[in-house]
Amino acid sequence: MTEPKTLREACCADDYDPNSMPVDRARALIRTFLTPVTTVERVALRAALGRVLAADVISPIDVPGHDNSAMDGYALRFADLAPAGETLLRRVGESFAGKPAAASVGSGECVRIFTGAVMPAGADTVVMQERAGEDAQGVRIAAGAVTKAGQNRRFAGEDLKAGQAVFAAGQLVRPAELGMMASLGIGEVPVYRRLRVAFFSTGDELKSIGTPLATGEVYDSNRYTIYGMLQRLGCDVIDMGVVPDVPEALEAAFASAAAAADVVITSGGVSVGEADFVKQLLDKLGEVLFWKIAMKPGRPLAYGRLGAAHFFGLPGNPVSVMVTFYQFVREALLVLQGQRDVGPLPTFKLPLTTPIRKAPGRTEFQRGVLSGDPANGYTVRTTGEQGSGVLSSMSQANCFIVLPTATGNVAAGELVDVQLLDGLI
Ligand code: AMP
Ligand code: MG
C-alpha cells in the first residue's frame, strides 16, 4: 500500500474510518508526515547526553592503542615455556599501565606486567600472576599456565580500528555513548537541535495551582504530566498554561503555539460535543484530522498541521493523556528529533496473575504491575480500577498490559503483551 502524501489524501484511503481508527493505522499514518529536524549544533561531549548525533562518529584512533595485558602477571615468549613441567625465566623489567617497560623480552626472559600495561617488545603472551612465583633464582612459571601463544594479551584495535564508524547519525547519546566517545578523545560532537514543543490545557473547569477551587473545578494536572514526559525525551518545552473553552482564546493560543514550536500538544477539547468548534478553528488554522481511535483509554485524538508545526490534540482525561502520549506522541517526537530505528515501546509477553474482563472491539492499555524475580519468573497484574480519570493507576503502574482489539476476557495464567514503563513514568 502506498502511504498518503497529504492529510487530505489520508482521508480518501479505502480503509480510512475516522470513527474506528486502529492504533497501528493511526501510528503508521502519523509516521508518514514526520520530517526530522536538520539543524545541527556542535556541543561539548557532556552536553550531548540525551541528544541525537547529527553525523557518523569515526574513530580517530585504534582502541586499544597498543597491544596490552589483560592480566596482572608476566609477559613472556610462549616458545620459551617447557612442554611439561615448570619454566624458570629471568625478570628484566616492569610494565605498568601508562608506564611501559624499557626492556624488551629476549629468549628465557620475562617482564612483570599489570593489567592494561603495554606488552613489551619480544613478548607474545601473558601468564597470570597466580600461575607464577618469584624467588632468588628468577620467575617460576607453573606447568600448563597458558595453553597457546597470545593468551591474556589484548590486541591494538581489538575494540575499534582507526577510521572505523563507531556510531551512525541518528544515534541517541546515552551514558555508554558518552563513555565511548570519551575513550576516543572526542570532546565535541554534532547533534541535532532540540525539538521545541508548545503545550496547553483546554477547559473552563481547569485551574492552575495557587488558585482556590470552586465547586466543579479541578487543578490542571495534564500540563504537568506532559511537561514531565517531554522533559524525559529531551525536548525544549513551552508551557502555555490553561486556555478556556472560548473560541477567540483558543484561536490565539493555537496560532502563537504553532508560530513558536515544532510540535503543539493540547489536552482536552477533542471529545464529541467539544470537538465541533475546535475542529472549525483548526480547519481555519491548518489541516487537522479527528479520529476516534479504537483504543481504551484515549479514544479521541486529533493529529495534523498548524502552519509548519505538527499538532497533537490529546484527550482530556489524565490517564488518556499519558496513554496516547506513549502510543503516538513519543514515537513521533523521537522521529522528529532525528533518531534512527524508532518504534513503539518494546513489547514482551508475561503471564497474568489476575483475570481481566474485556469486551472485544478496542485495544486496551491497562495499567499493570510487573513483579517477580529471575529465579521464579516475572508475572503481571493490573493496578485495579482502570478508569481514565484515575491518575494514581499510572503512578502505581510500571507497565501497560496491551490487550489487542479482538481479545475478550483474559484468564489468570494466560500470556499477555506488556510494555515496560520503567524510567518513563
Ligand atoms: P475533555 O476531553 O476536555 O472532555 O475532558 C475529559 C475529562 O478530563 C474531564 O473530566 C476534564 O475535567 C478532565 N480534564 C481535562 N483536562 C484536564 C487537565 N488538564 N487536568 C486534569 N483534568 C483534565
Ligand atoms: Mg474539556
From ligand 2's centre to the CA of 156, what distance in Å? 63
Domain 7-35+194-336 has CATH 1.10.3720.10: no
State whether the beta carbon of 213 lies less than 6 angstroms from ligand 1.
Answer: no
Q: Is the pLDDT of residue 357 over 90?
A: yes
Distance of CA 330 to the CA centre of its chain: 10
Q: Is the pLDDT of residue 39 over 80?
A: yes
State whether the beta carbon of 221 lies less than 6 angstroms from ligand 1.
Answer: yes
Look at residue 53 in the predicted model and tell me its pLDDT: 98
pLDDT digits over 247-277, tens only? 999 999 999 999 999 999 999 999 888 888 8
pLDDT digits over 56-82, tens only? 999 999 999 999 999 999 999 999 999
* Share above pLDDT 90 across residues of the chain, in percent, rounded to a whole number: 89
pLDDT digits over 122-169, tens only? 999 999 999 999 999 999 999 999 999 999 999 999 989 999 999 999
pLDDT digits over 302-340, tens only? 999 999 999 999 999 999 999 999 999 999 999 999 999
Band (289; pLDDT cuts 50, 70, 90): very high
pLDDT digits over 176-232, tens only? 999 999 999 999 999 999 999 999 999 999 999 999 999 999 999 999 999 999 999
- Give nearest CA residue, ligand 1 atom 16: 316
Who has greater pLDDT, 13 or 205?
A: 205
Top-tier CATH class for 40-61+167-192: alpha beta
Question: Of how many residues is the chain composed?
Answer: 425
State whether the beta carbon of 201 lies less than 6 angstroms from ligand 1.
Answer: yes
- Cell representation of residue 173: 547519546
Q: Is the pLDDT of residue 424 over 80?
A: no
pLDDT digits over 371-412, tens only? 998 898 999 999 998 888 899 999 999 999 999 999 999 999
For the chain, give every residue range classified as CATH 2.40.340.10.
348-420
222, 242, 276: which to mutate for ligand 1, most atoms within 8 A of CB?
222
- Cell representation of residue 312: 497533537
DSSP H helices in 286-412: 318-324, 330-336, 392-396
Q: What is the mean pLDDT of the chain?
A: 95
Look at residue 388 in the predicted model and tell me its pLDDT: 86
Q: What is the pTM of this model?
A: 0.90
Look at residue 416 in the predicted model and tell me its pLDDT: 98
Nearest to 107 by CA among 123, 131, 84: 123
State whether the beta carbon of 245 lies less than 6 angstroms from ligand 1.
Answer: no
Domain 348-420 has CATH 2.40.340.10: yes
Q: Is the pLDDT of residue 84 over 80?
A: yes
Look at residue 33 in the predicted model and tell me its pLDDT: 94
Look at residue 425 in the predicted model and tell me its pLDDT: 41
State whether the beta carbon of 177 lies less than 6 angstroms from ligand 1.
Answer: no
State whether the beta carbon of 268 lies less than 6 angstroms from ligand 1.
Answer: yes
From ligand 1's centre to the CA of 25, what distance in Å? 26
218, 221, 292: which to mutate for ligand 1, most atoms within 8 A of CB?
218
- Give domain 68-154's CATH number out of 3.40.50.720, 2.170.190.11, 2.40.110.10, 3.40.50.2300: 2.170.190.11
Cβ atoms of 352 and 414 closer than 8 Å: yes
Look at residue 273 in the predicted model and tell me its pLDDT: 81
Look at residue 271 in the predicted model and tell me its pLDDT: 86
Instruction: Concatenate the DSSP letters of all residues of 139-188 into one string.
Output: EEEPTTS-SSTTTTEEPTTSSB-TT-EEE-TT-B--HHHHHHHHHTT--E
**Using CA atoms, how far apart are residues 72 and 127, in angstroms rounded to an integer?**
8
State whether the beta carbon of 222 lies less than 6 angstroms from ligand 1.
Answer: yes
Look at residue 277 in the predicted model and tell me its pLDDT: 84
Burial class (CB in 10 A: 0-12, 13-18, 19+), 302: buried
Looking from the CA of residue 223, the nearest atom of ligand 1 is 19
State whether the beta carbon of 267 lies less than 6 angstroms from ligand 1.
Answer: yes
Look at residue 7 in the predicted model and tell me its pLDDT: 85
For the chain, give every residue range classified as CATH 3.40.980.10.
7-35+194-336
Q: Is the pLDDT of residue 2 over 80?
A: no
